[in-house]
Structure 1
């Protein structure tokens, strides 16, 4: 039986801030919905422990020649991350209804 590789999933400060803002905003209407969405996003990100390349390359960045960032979709949110050795760094959690190219380029392409 093949050994499953295990990666460490880390959240950047910016991604933690994104998640907090999303949850706080939703909690204004419904704490239950906010907690459910928090669990959904954290569970989705945790999938990267074993298969970090499961997400697609972020199309808005790929068009500019940047291919090291991938994303998982948990509609309407996009969990943007990069894989570095045995670590997966969650870089951002973004609302897909926003102008993502501008947001991502400002945050990630430094």
Structure 2
């Protein structure tokens, strides 16, 4: 299965990395490694993440890479990484449409 990152998700991942790196460079590299490894597993196991509790749509799922939520949409042939959000941030479902 193909995994595709949206421009928004790429931007958010870069911002998260920079934020962590400002105070803890080693932790930032470790987080990025965990993020990329977790996303890579979705190619083989697209249902590996859980359904997003606030949304209630089975095609929208999330993978937790603490303290961030990797929100993605899956279809039969693709996984689309939609958003990388800190677990404490609120979000609106319409921001996941890409």
TM-score (norm 1): 0.81
For 1:109 and 1:49, locate their aligned partners in 2 and report how far apart those are by CA, in whole Å: 20
Report SS of the residue matched to 2:29: helix
Q: Greater helix percent: which structure? A: 1
**Rg larger for:** 1
Give the RMSD, CA atoms, in angstroms: 1.5
Q: Runs of at least 4 residues of structure 1 off by over 3 A?
A: none
Residue ranges of structure 2 left out of the alignment (5+ in a row): none
- What is the aligned length? 98
Moved more, 68-77 or 15-24: 68-77
Q: Is the 8 A contact 2:82 2:97 kept in 1?
A: no
Residue ranges of structure 1 left out of the alignment (5+ in a row): 1-6
Report SS of the residue matched to 1:51: coil
1:83 aligns with 2:79: no
For 1:83 and 1:93, locate their aligned partners in 2 and report how far apart those are by CA, in whole Å: 16
For 2:55 and 2:97, locate their aligned partners in 1 and report how far apart those are by CA, in whole Å: 9
Among 20, 23, 36, which residue is 2:14 paired with? Answer: 20
For 1:40 and 1:98, locate their aligned partners in 2 and report how far apart those are by CA, in whole Å: 20
1:40 aligns with 34
1:107 aligns with 2:88: no
TM-score (norm 2): 0.90
Report SS of the residue matched to 1:43: helix
Describe the shift of the 1:61–1:88 C-alpha distance in structure 2 as closer, same or farther (beyond 3 A).
same
